[in-house]
Chains A and B, each alone.
Chain A
């Protein structure tokens, strides 16, 4: 009962925190709310009319939504980039900020689940996946595996951050017996969510573009680029606007790890491109559609080369120590790698995988306004969750926000 009372005090305090803020906080919230409202109205229209509101058709049956889902699984997995140095090597500068990686993971998973929800034709039947009411085709369907690992990963991160913050709120240190095993478990789980998501595509022999064993490692490499890129920007924003101190060493270390990941990402892409172009089989069609277009069908070509350019630029910016330490080039690198991976793993993975279709037809997919609005709404909702969690987490970790110790049992 006591814990319950303490917890309700924690919740009430958190509510008070998120309801107070300066003008820019409210402007940001209003911006997110507007995007969410626009997304919700577009989604309502999509539900009543059907997925015909999107540009997806039988030929290209997955599109922007599943692309965003795939990308965000990578962002969620990237928390592990902080967890490993923090807990395995016990490197203190990162240990202080690891909780922000976990908060990002929680928000990213929320977005992932929403992107799946907006993509399915019958969201009203979502419960068909959930035993005992529904039927989860486990272990046959990799999608069933994905549902499982994503939810477990979400739970682990949610429990860890809630525990740490709740304890800190009451002025106590977190319980190592709870946190350490869970955090250690989150490492293979992070690799797991991304591997399973890669296998989702990888396992389909019908789609040669995806049916490549390099897919899972390449997913991980690009995840360890794009996820930390968001974190680095967020950490710098926090350092600027709050009393929170983040050592430069921590930021530089993350940037260094990103340089290796960016290299690996480019290398794996190169290896795949070599195999496709040198062997020059019929399966080259999909890669060609992405990089050079097929005949007059060239919609994605500028995106392909933008991704290559951005990813290469980011690699150069991160690998040179002086550049990754300079705030301008560092942030430029973060933006470049985020955008590069976003194009690459969203549109660049899904669309060429389905173009030409199984019977050789070329249907050129490009997202409709409905898809863009719904996706923006989902991102806004994710950022809203992230913002609210940060609003509570930052003061708690700074010790600015703690329970008043008056008349309590403690």
Chain B
């Protein structure tokens, strides 16, 4: 069989050496390698994002966008969940997994729905996250879905030794997956079990990837870092609802701008019986629970 002519001739040692030297010089010149997101000059961030998109496209065989949409001025997001409406169907859990590219194996889920006993009220020591009845809602039970509470006084960001997680101006607590060292101190600090670790290489079937991603949100994560709910940053910063709000069949989930007096979220807070989880810890969640009926 005839060999096709080499289109790219093998590198000579000299060429390789000069390329390596150029790469090393470039690395040093661009301020000693990668930096935390907001310490990166814009042009470098753009280049980084292009590189990321190329890599993801190659890995998943489809065009992937990585947005870096900033917070919208005058917006602070908040969430409210109607405990009296929730039927425990877990549609939010699976919509979240699909939207936010959570690993299917090992399984990662940012929302955890707890089944609780009506006799006992909101009592975590008696909660069951693994309920599996034929039909929900189950007699004598009510449901409390828990995800990141986007605390104003967040214990998780405070403890991070590298500053890899912080609260954005619109109130979303985010993680830079490229800066996290995986020490899991934030997971120990979180009172809501909202942070999840990639114990193994996350896997998402190629045809199930959501290609519209955000740098601080649902872009595919590497092994060994922490992830969590971001209020669907890739959607909400573009004026859309989070996936869990959209999918909820009973309308138990409300979302909006805390700073807008006409918003639904403000209506709920001002007119309903509202509570936050583990109030005594003074974490000041922006995720409220209420009894709508």
A residues adjacent to B (C-beta < 8 A): 49-52, 56-59, 61-62, 116, 119-122, 125-126, 128-129, 133-137, 140-144, 147, 200-201, 203-207, 282, 285, 353-354, 356-361
Contacts and interface: CB of A to CB of B under 8 A. Distances in A.
A62 B188 contact: yes
A54 to B, nearest CB: 8
Nearest to A211: B281
A141 B190 CA distance: 14
B71 interface: no
Contacts of A59: 193
Contacts of A200: 185
Interface string B159-192: 1111110000000000000011111110111111
Contacts of B262: none
Contacts of B125: 282, 285, 356, 360
B121 to A, nearest CB: 13
Interface of B: 32-33, 36, 39, 106, 112, 114, 123-127, 129, 146, 155, 158-164, 179-185, 187-193, 195-201, 222-226, 281-282
Given A51-B224, A358-B191, 9 more contacts: A119-B183, A120-B183, A121-B198, A126-B181, A133-B32, A135-B162, A143-B183, A204-B188, A359-B146
A126 B33 CA distance: 14
Given A128-B181, A359-B127, A204 B161 contact: no
Contacts of B191: 205-206, 358
Contact of B197 (A121, A125, A285): A121
Given A52-B200, A122-B180, A207-B188, A358 B225 contact: no
Nearest to B127: A360
A55 B97 CA distance: 24
Contacts of A206: 155, 188-191, 281
Contact of A142 (B123, B126, B159, B198): B159
- Per DSSP, are chain A's interface residues mostly helix, strand or loop, or mixed? loop
Contacts of B112: 359
Contacts of B224: 50-51, 120-122
B288 to A, nearest CB: 18
Nearest to A121: B182
Contact of B164 (A51, A62, A128, A147): A128
12 contacts: A116-B183, A121-B225, A125-B182, A128-B164, A129-B162, A133-B32, A135-B162, A135-B163, A206-B190, A285-B125, A356-B124, A358-B190
B223 to A, nearest CB: 5
A332 to B, nearest CB: 36
B149 to A, nearest CB: 11
A182 to B, nearest CB: 27
Contacts of A121: 180-184, 197-198, 223-226
Nearest to B146: A359
Given A52-B199, A61-B187, A140 B158 contact: yes
Closest 3 CB pairs of A and B: A121-B182, A121-B224, A360-B124
A182 B161 CA distance: 28
A58 B197 contact: yes
B131 to A, nearest CB: 12
Given A50-B201, A121-B224, A206-B155, A358 B181 contact: no
Nearest to B182: A121
A59 B199 CA distance: 12
